[in-house]
Structure 1
Amino acid sequence: MSPSRGIPGRVHLATTSMGDPMKVRAAGAEWALLGLFVLSGFAGLIYQSVWSHYLGLTLGHAAYAQTLVLAIFMGGMAGGAWVASRYLGRWEHLILAYAIVEAVIGLCGLLFHPAFMSYTAMSQDLVLPSLADPTAVRAYQWLSAAVLILPQCVLLGATFPLLSAGFLRIAPADDGRVLGGLYFTNSIGAAFGALAATFLLLPWIGMPGSITFAGGINLVVAVGAWWVWRELRGAPIRAVPCVPDGGARAGDTHRPAAVGPSVAVVLLWATFLSGAFSFVYEIGWIRLLNQALGTTVHSFELMLAAFISGLAFGGLWVRSRSSRITDAIRYAGYAQVWMGLAALASVVFLTQSFSWVGWLVDALPPTDEGYALFTVGSAIIALLIMFPAAFFAGMTLPLFTMALLRRGEGERSIGRVYAANTLGAIVGVMAVVHLLIPLMGVRMAVTMAALGDALLGLYLLRFVATPVVGRRWGAVVACTAAMLVVSLVLGQPDPLRQASGVFRTGVASLSNVNEVSFLEDGKTATIAVYQRMDGRYGFISTNGKPDASLAMSEQDPPTDDEITMLMAAALPLGLHASPRDVAVIGWGSGLTTHTMLGSPVPERVVSIEIERVMIEGAAGFGDRVRRAYEDPRSVIRIDDARTQFATMGEGFDIIISEPSNPWVSGVASLFTSEFYGLIRTQLREGGLFVQWLQAYEIDQALLMRMVNSLVQEFPHVDVYLTNSADFLFVAGNAPLADFDATRVGDGELQAELSRVGLDGQADYAVRRIGGRSMLQAVGRLYGNQLHSDFHPVVALNAPRSRFKGESALVFMDLVLGGFPVLEFTEGGARPDARLVSDAAASLLAGDARLAVEYRAALLGVSREVASGAFEQTELVRELVQLGDSPMEQGHTVRWTELVSTFAERVIGNFPPDALHGVFMIRTGSQQRVSLLWCKLSCRSTSSWPGARLPGCLPRPKVS
């Protein structure tokens, strides 16, 4: 078809013969297509969000896996846009082609979950076991993951060029309005899709339902696009012309000195670089905000939505002002400069985000409503930091496309610009994760990208657009230089803030810290090591969340974490006869690996850690973790745990899992039924799996989902409480052997264990809560709900539980409730409290030592109770005083309360023989009598001071 008359390149409908009704139909079609593109963008981000969860199960969450998923997604989009740009001019019915593409995307969405399940089964049962070479395994995973989503990604990439070109052929509007409008609608739909996926669909219908829902939306869009095409089928449409000489079209007053195809190449390179710099911002902002907002699924989606919203409104600005844009390249140049300046300013705002989050946490109540407000506040903070630069980034793609269209590049320019921008995004992601962050850190990576954007804009303004000269040019250069200086000076990171974990405590900066001795940005997280209390205690944190703490010297009292890490290694050593090969998931401080290597029995200890910088930082703990670094049996692998176990093909005698807390994004997948099933296949005969879980910052229902999943996969499970809030679950395929303290080790290792109160059999036995039958009984109280890969309930709800400060205490209540429930139901008994080592940091060990003190007081062995030895020492004194004096009126109630308290603490902590003379005595006829009840009934009221009832026995003297 020949170009229409009027402004060259202007696409309009011939209305002379059709009259006003055709105009009305075209206007209706315009709004219909905009609405459909909102839905298309909505579905597209649901795909991206859910695909990241699916492929995380296959590829893991290591840095290279994350970038690979993005590369597949963005690469497919770029390929689809490039293919569309090649064939746009040959197709007449672009709206119909768009409808067909949306329909195919929808069908793929409906079939994705069944296809993924078949792929997973085939991989685990057939392909992976036959691949002995780790490189071949890795290559298979990457290629198969690409096959899973690449076709849909290619089709998604084709939608924007198809609809844009088709819209330009039928819409009574200029190019800027069309492009800006479509870019806005698609992006704003994407922003809502990102939020809906995480906050609505995944909690409601899980991953399978979410991706099916997105497929259904695509089918609705396909039907709507087909209806628009049918309505406009009779209208004479004309394609945007392609002018071979690259001359500017009328209405574009820009006419640079160097005309011709070279300008088109420059603009394509410019949009490529702009896309790269934009994604450096996105990754950098997310990494930096994680330190203030917390690394959760919610915070990530909020930040992603904030970034996409900025892009959307940038496109809307172009749409609303397209008629006044006479030199699109100049506008694009200014947009690039302002984008760079806004990104430089964002670095300064990021330093203040800790104070803003601290204010939020401090001001809001720890309730569901408070968390909802915290989420809204987090979104506002993300918008303040991301929106300005993203707004200008959103202007660039429609402006670059407009510039090429007005230079006569034709419809192909739409797909070419989109493809170049998307390819730039891939390069930006790869560069920031694997090059810029390791070389210069996250903040400097953002700063360098911002400077690159500003310089790109200055180049366009000076050498490609109608040249900007004189004072205006000087002002632009001066603003750029000034903002760079401000960003470098005021945007200096504060290590005390970065390591503060303000999202948990509400305190924006660490206090009582001697120094932050290590702070480095890794590929997946920022790791900090710092000391408190005159350097006596060291901490290591990930994005501000403490992962481990320990005394820097063994001369100081241990931390609660030390007991957990030492016991995580010692417990399986005492339960397994000869563990040769051991795997440890999560490095933390390195103390668990160090402890395991204290035994001469293991021949190899493989530690799996996702972040290399964590291992580098933990080296600062020195001699406390020396064996983990120096022992030749220690093997360190940097990878995601799921990926390692799926690809290693090795058997282990012991696997210890100590990842970060389940509310941390990506970690909850290590607490699912599917993961436990994978671990079970990795254990040799008689092998043991040790799983850490916490009782703090999580509610009982979420905890029991993970426990139920473990119990479902393993026929034999025991649970131990190491300190006051950390559990260790020991699971196996065979019945668990009795703990043998002699297997653990001696010498240096035993000295380290004794320091935390792990001396002998009783010290481990006292920390055991119960076995599988008890866990099943508690699980039934919470509906026997499981935690599945495809329904990430824990990842979605644990952040709220953490904010509310909830705790899961049902197991502790069973032990400390005052009635020997577990002794009756489990058929066992707690060890004699007199054999338990003194370890005040351990709740159950402390309870045993308190029982010893109470028993001594009740027996009258010692009237002198060590002051301050236990929290309830005053209760002992009060009971002794009441027992040594006549019962006054009103004392009976208090006496009963004290008796109940002491019974709760004492009865379950001793064998029956040890309780004679405390609660029970024998009469001459060998009949058991409660001594305390006798004492209570034999005390007279004030009307009979000192009287005794007949048959009452004197208090025995027990030595």
Structure 2
Amino acid sequence: MLVWPLYLLFFFSGMAGLICEVAWTRMFGGVFGNTTHAVSAVLSSFMAGLALGSFWAGRFIDRRADELRIYGLLEVGIGLSVLAVPLAIRWLEGVYAWLYPQLALSLWALQLARTLCSFAVLLVPTFLMGATLPVLSKFAAGRNRRVEVGVGLLYGLNTLGAGAGCFLSGFVLIEHLGVQGSTSLAAGLNLALGALFLLAARWVPAGEALPPENSRVPVPTELLLAAGLAGFTALGYEVLWSRLLVFKLRTTVYAFAIMLTTFLVGLGMGSALLAALARRWREQDYHKIFGWLQLGIGLCGLVSVLLFGRLESWFSAFSGDWSARVAQQLLLAATIMLVPALLMGAAFPALSRAGAQGRQPGRTVGLLYAANTLGAVCGPLLVGFVLVQALGTQQSLVVVALLNLSIAAIVLRGRGPRLPLLLSCLAALVLIAATPGDLLLRFYNAGERELDSRVELVYAAEDVGGITTVHRLPNGERTIATGSTDVAGTSLTLRSTQKLQAHIPMLLHPGAKQVLQIGFGSGETAHLLTGYPIDHLEVAEISRSMLETAARFFPDLNHGVAAHPRFRAWVMDGANYLRLTGSRYDAILNDSIWPFYAGNSGLYTREYFQDGRERLRPGGLMTSWLPLDMPVEDFKIILKTFHVVFPYFSVWFAPTHYNKHALLVGSAEPLRLEAAAYLERFARHAQADLAEVGLGDPVLLLDCFATDQQELAGELEGVAVHTADRPLLEFSPSRATPGKGQVGVYEFLSRHRKSALALLEPAAEPQLRQAIETTHRATGHVLRGLILREQRQAGSEREFALARQLRPDHPGARAIEEYEEQLYALDLKALDGRTYDELLGLAARLGKAGLHEKTAQVLEQATHRAPEEPRGYGELGLALLRLGRAAEAVPQFERARALDPDQADTYNNLGNALRQLGKQAEAASWYRQALERDPELAEAYYNLGMLHQEQGQAREAIGQLAEAVRLRPDYVKAHINLGILLDGEHRLEEAIVHFQRAVALAPDEAAYHNLVIGLTRAGRLEEAQQRLEEATARQLDLPAARQHLVLSLVVQARAHAAKGEWRQASQWQRQAVALTPAKLQPPLLEQLKTYEAKK
């Protein structure tokens, strides 16, 4: 009878199990928080349930002959209980909310409560899950008589399914179905499996019941102990490797999915591989095989320390599109995990075969799996809570590896020659002795060194939650980071953020007395808050080492605020604290980090903001740190989520430089600011401090107000909301193009800027009003200049100059000027020792400053530094194109294409170079090849359209440009040129729509010129005048458009005069005079007098 399909179905059981585990961890995170303690409680309960189920099934299954029927019932039970878990967790929220105040002061009492609560909720489904392997192992052994083959195959398929479930959860299911939808899918899968196995039980012949229990030979204690220790080391390695891999992979949901998937796939492949080999073997000593596998695992554990020491040089910053970056991350994780995971996967079926000699298979597998799972429960707890804190990650890896070697030595004792074992142990000792004790300290600096290889690691502190580090940059700036994420520091961007997070809410709410800050960082914000007349400041910080490290290394910023009498810190997840606290606050400050980091997106959910609003006192406000370096779509998701809770909100950010950070302010009532009180409070509490970041003028701080809910109402219609069930922001990295999101958000904010005058009530005095309006206009020019600069378009220098004309001391214009002076003075001979990635970054900065000759020189150095990397050649080709050296650019693009033949941008750029050389037919061919590789490359459609325009093929050009703006609605050049082409085809109204879009996206001279002329030609003269006035207010010079409009007004006046309509003629002529420069007005004035005389 063919039973292989039944074995394959066990793959889907593993898939469903991991989907549930991932989803449940998230659900419990909403109850207990996203701390390591809370996650450990949930995972320990999950594993304990598996162990109990396996032990129970192993005790009875050998006496049964209806394994398939029992298995089907187990799957049905799993499916039904999985559906019940979300309901149980909702019940648990109330229970835990009641328990928390009673146990809050005792960490271990709280941990015990979490573990017991999660164990009670998860017991039924995990117990039934744990029973499945012994039941099917009995079925397989009854058909195969080879335990190692059946168990190896089943364990391998189930674990591979778990890997697939993990990958799908991280990359697909939760993003598209949500957490609840994912568990429902898993439950449906379990129920379907149950039905299939119950049907199969009818047509697959029953097995045989084995002898009664009292005839069984007991499984040796040493094998049970070995199984437990093997589980302990396997999960111990996973914890330790994951702590380290985040320094390269970051702490995104994708990174954790990649790490766990790699580990599970390795386990599954190892188990299946041993099953395949065992089918070819006749008689083997599986004790011996298990021992050698443990020896290999131990050696791999020691080698992994050395591998981490080399990862920084092997894997530089990830590049390419999203799928390419994922592939690179999978390769990195596999470099560390795959080989040892293969050996771990093979170990369990080998141990099962060793334990099953002369014993009943179901009971043996059940006991060994239970022991292995209990070891897996203890591994993360002891390694994470004890070893890491006592020894650090590197030495913990050594200890776990020595444990594997000890297992091997015990199991192999007396089995075969001693020499190989002695040589292996000697090799291990050599590895330990040769590895510097602080080798991994360099790896803790890997993320920072991707940006600048000269960054120094000052300090690293290890605790349960992760690794907190302090770094010093070459210019003396310092940052404090957790894992791979900077959270605070002394740079202009970070200090501006730290200061504004304190001053803005306290100046907007003069009566604030009770303040809660989520996240401590460097402690500067907390210190500044205590400078205001508040009664209490509470800080919820997830990492104790963050508090301790900041106090030790950033006393110049926090001034020992932790010892301030009005300060109190709670070491726990901030979202969890906000949900559970009974206190009420005047201001709640969400001092968070990027929302796409795993766990951190919980500080941007609708539920979190709702908890914040419910904890506010009347008139209170909540603020949230807001990143600007993200896709516009995700930026709008944050705004919409915040707005769903707070009917009134505003966005603030300091335009003192190309700032990456902003601040959201939300309240239940409209924000109002009394000018005199604001000025007095600013002078007393903020002026001296904010002068350090260029905001010492109260008008400049007011100008940080960018926009509000009224201005953004239309943009937020239909935007999705980020929730705990649908954490959309965690999946932002798959949509983001590195380094491209920030300029898009700047354009978005620039289109919707609003003057801070809207906040003042009563209205400001004339002098203050004028200062605010002037600064607002100057900042508009700074933002436009920054946008043009980032897009490498002409006109940024003019925008900065206009800003300085309006406000000579504008900090943003001055900062850019000083920065570009540094670039002009840069000595390219001083770049020795810079890495390839650093040279590319420097070239990008030089290119944005318009220093294309220097850019090309730096990129030439980069291509010599890494001749096998395509990106350097492509960037060098672009720099040469900008210098007008197209003939030199062509071979650079050709080299880039040879190294990476799938990169569509290279083909597009090659087409541009050939077009500059007048080779239009060849250029068109390369554009088409670019589109073959990326059918959504808007730039290639644009270039192909412009090529058709040059060849006089207007209709073809219109089709290509229309496709370009469809794919990229913010493509300004495409809108303008499409409008020009449509106008030429007598489709003027359509053309005007595109000119209007161009003005909305980029209100510069080209956009306004075409719009004013288009409106004039369409006879919409009043609209044309309005648009010309807008351009004039922006200090844009449009002489041709102005002249065209004046002539049209004069013609209109003459037309009315011909009809004897002198009043109308006078009105049109007067408008023409008003738009005409004074020296050209006399003839128009003469005509106006004539019209006036005849009225």
TM range (shorter): 0.7 to 0.9
State the AA in 2 paired with 1:520: A
Matches within 5 A, 1:213-362: 213-233=185-205, 235=206, 237-239=208-210, 246=217, 264-322=220-278, 323-358=281-316, 360-361=318-319
Residues 541 and 548 of structure 1 are in contact (CA less than 8 Å); yes or no, is this contact kept in structure 2? yes
Q: Give the match's secondary structure for 1:779.
A: coil
Q: Give the match's secondary structure for 2:440.
A: coil
Residues 309 and 440 of structure 2 are in contact (CA less than 8 Å); yes or no, is this contact kept in structure 1? yes
Residues 939 and 948 of structure 1 are in contact (CA less than 8 Å); yes or no, is this contact kept in structure 2? no
Matches within 5 A, 1:420-435: 420-435=371-386
Matches within 5 A, 1:368-387: 370-387=321-338
2:464 matched residue in structure 1: 523
Where structure 2 has 5 or more consecutive residues not aligned to the other structure, the ranges are 787-797, 822-1004, 1013-1025, 1036-1066, 1089-1095
2:444 aligns with one of 498, 502, 511:
498
1:544 aligns with one of 440, 459, 484:
484
2:178 matched residue in structure 1: 206
* Structure 2: distance between partners of 1:273 and 1:794: 39
Matches within 5 A, 1:808-827: 809-810=744-745, 813-815=748-750
State the AA in 2 paired with 1:82: F
Residues 371 and 803 of structure 1 are in contact (CA less than 8 Å); yes or no, is this contact kept in structure 2? no
* Structure 2: distance between partners of 1:839 and 1:564: 20
2:158 aligns with one of 171, 183, 186:
186
* Structure 2: distance between partners of 1:332 and 1:229: 34
Comparing 236-245 with 560-569, greater Cα deviation is found at 236-245
* Structure 2: distance between partners of 1:702 and 1:627: 37
Q: 1:621 to 1:905 in 2, by over 3 A?
A: farther
Matches within 5 A, 1:384-463: 384-408=335-359, 411-462=362-413
The answer to whether 1:768 aligns with 2:705 is: yes
Q: Give the match's secondary structure for 2:522.
A: coil
* Structure 2: distance between partners of 1:176 and 1:321: 10
* Structure 1: distance between partners of 2:453 and 2:475: 12
Matches within 5 A, 1:820-899: 832=769, 834=771, 854=802
* Structure 2: distance between partners of 1:69 and 1:721: 40
Q: 1:605 to 1:400 in 2, by over 3 A?
A: same
Residue 520 (structure 1) shift = 2.4
Residues 141 and 361 of structure 2 are in contact (CA less than 8 Å); yes or no, is this contact kept in structure 1? no
1:105-162 CA distances to partner (integer Å, 9 max, x unpaired)? Answer: 1112234445545654x559x8579969766987665544333322211111111112
Residues 854 and 906 of structure 1 are in contact (CA less than 8 Å); yes or no, is this contact kept in structure 2? no
Residue 479 (structure 1) shift = 3.0
2:68 matched residue in structure 1: 95
Q: 1:289 to 1:858 in 2, by over 3 A?
A: closer
Residues 717 and 730 of structure 1 are in contact (CA less than 8 Å); yes or no, is this contact kept in structure 2? yes
Matches within 5 A, 1:475-514: 475-486=423-434, 488-489=435-436, 492-495=439-442, 497-501=443-447, 508=450, 510-513=452-455
State the AA in 1 paired with 2:299: L
The answer to whether 1:667 aligns with 2:625 is: no
The answer to whether 1:755 aligns with 2:686 is: no
Residues 134 and 648 of structure 1 are in contact (CA less than 8 Å); yes or no, is this contact kept in structure 2? no
Q: 1:711 to 1:134 in 2, by over 3 A?
A: farther
* Structure 2: distance between partners of 1:436 and 1:928: 86
Residues 41 and 186 of structure 1 are in contact (CA less than 8 Å); yes or no, is this contact kept in structure 2? yes
* Structure 1: distance between partners of 2:8 and 2:760: 62
Identity %: 24
Residues 275 and 425 of structure 1 are in contact (CA less than 8 Å); yes or no, is this contact kept in structure 2? yes
Residue 705 (structure 1) shift = 1.4
Residues 64 and 208 of structure 2 are in contact (CA less than 8 Å); yes or no, is this contact kept in structure 1? no
2:1077 matched residue in structure 1: 937
Residue 335 (structure 1) shift = 0.6
Matches within 5 A, 1:649-798: 649-696=582-629, 698-723=630-655, 724-738=659-673, 740-741=677-678, 744=681, 750-759=687-696, 761-780=698-717, 783-798=718-733
2:559 matched residue in structure 1: 626
Residues 310 and 390 of structure 1 are in contact (CA less than 8 Å); yes or no, is this contact kept in structure 2? yes
2:41 matched residue in structure 1: 68
Residues 838 and 845 of structure 1 are in contact (CA less than 8 Å); yes or no, is this contact kept in structure 2? no
State the AA in 1 paired with 2:337: M
State the AA in 2 paired with 1:546: D
Comparing 450-459 with 897-906, greater Cα deviation is found at 897-906
* Structure 2: distance between partners of 1:40 and 1:165: 17
* Structure 2: distance between partners of 1:489 and 1:636: 37
Q: 1:820 to 1:577 in 2, by over 3 A?
A: closer
Q: 1:820 to 1:845 in 2, by over 3 A?
A: same
1:646 matched residue in structure 2: 579
* Structure 1: distance between partners of 2:225 and 2:103: 43
Matches within 5 A, 1:916-935: none
Residue 610 (structure 1) shift = 1.1
Residue 786 (structure 1) shift = 0.8
State the AA in 1 paired with 2:542: I
Residues 240 and 410 of structure 1 are in contact (CA less than 8 Å); yes or no, is this contact kept in structure 2? no
Q: 1:338 to 1:561 in 2, by over 3 A?
A: same
Where structure 1 has 5 or more consecutive residues not aligned to the other structure, the ranges are 1-24, 247-260, 365-369, 552-558, 874-892, 910-926, 941-945, 954-959
Q: 1:690 to 1:820 in 2, by over 3 A?
A: closer
Q: 1:279 to 1:194 in 2, by over 3 A?
A: same
Comparing 627-636 with 564-573, greater Cα deviation is found at 627-636
Q: Give the match's secondary structure for 2:175.
A: helix
* Structure 2: distance between partners of 1:330 and 1:227: 41
2:867 matched residue in structure 1: none
Q: 1:689 to 1:848 in 2, by over 3 A?
A: farther
1:617 matched residue in structure 2: 549
State the AA in 2 paired with 1:329: H
Residues 500 and 509 of structure 1 are in contact (CA less than 8 Å); yes or no, is this contact kept in structure 2? no
Q: 1:660 to 1:492 in 2, by over 3 A?
A: same
* Structure 2: distance between partners of 1:183 and 1:108: 23
1:20 matched residue in structure 2: none
Q: Which has the higher helix share?
A: 2
1:589 matched residue in structure 2: 522
State the AA in 2 paired with 1:392: L
* Structure 1: distance between partners of 2:8 and 2:307: 35
Residue 481 (structure 1) shift = 2.5
* Structure 1: distance between partners of 2:271 and 2:123: 27
Q: Give the match's secondary structure for 2:392.
A: helix
Residues 22 and 166 of structure 2 are in contact (CA less than 8 Å); yes or no, is this contact kept in structure 1? yes
1:888 matched residue in structure 2: none
1:39-72 CA distances to partner (integer Å, 9 max, x unpaired)? Answer: 1111111111111111111111111012111111
Residues 665 and 795 of structure 1 are in contact (CA less than 8 Å); yes or no, is this contact kept in structure 2? yes
Residues 357 and 378 of structure 1 are in contact (CA less than 8 Å); yes or no, is this contact kept in structure 2? no
Residue 516 (structure 1) shift = 2.0
1:22 matched residue in structure 2: none
The answer to whether 1:473 aligns with 2:421 is: yes
Q: 1:743 to 1:100 in 2, by over 3 A?
A: farther
Residues 79 and 157 of structure 1 are in contact (CA less than 8 Å); yes or no, is this contact kept in structure 2? yes
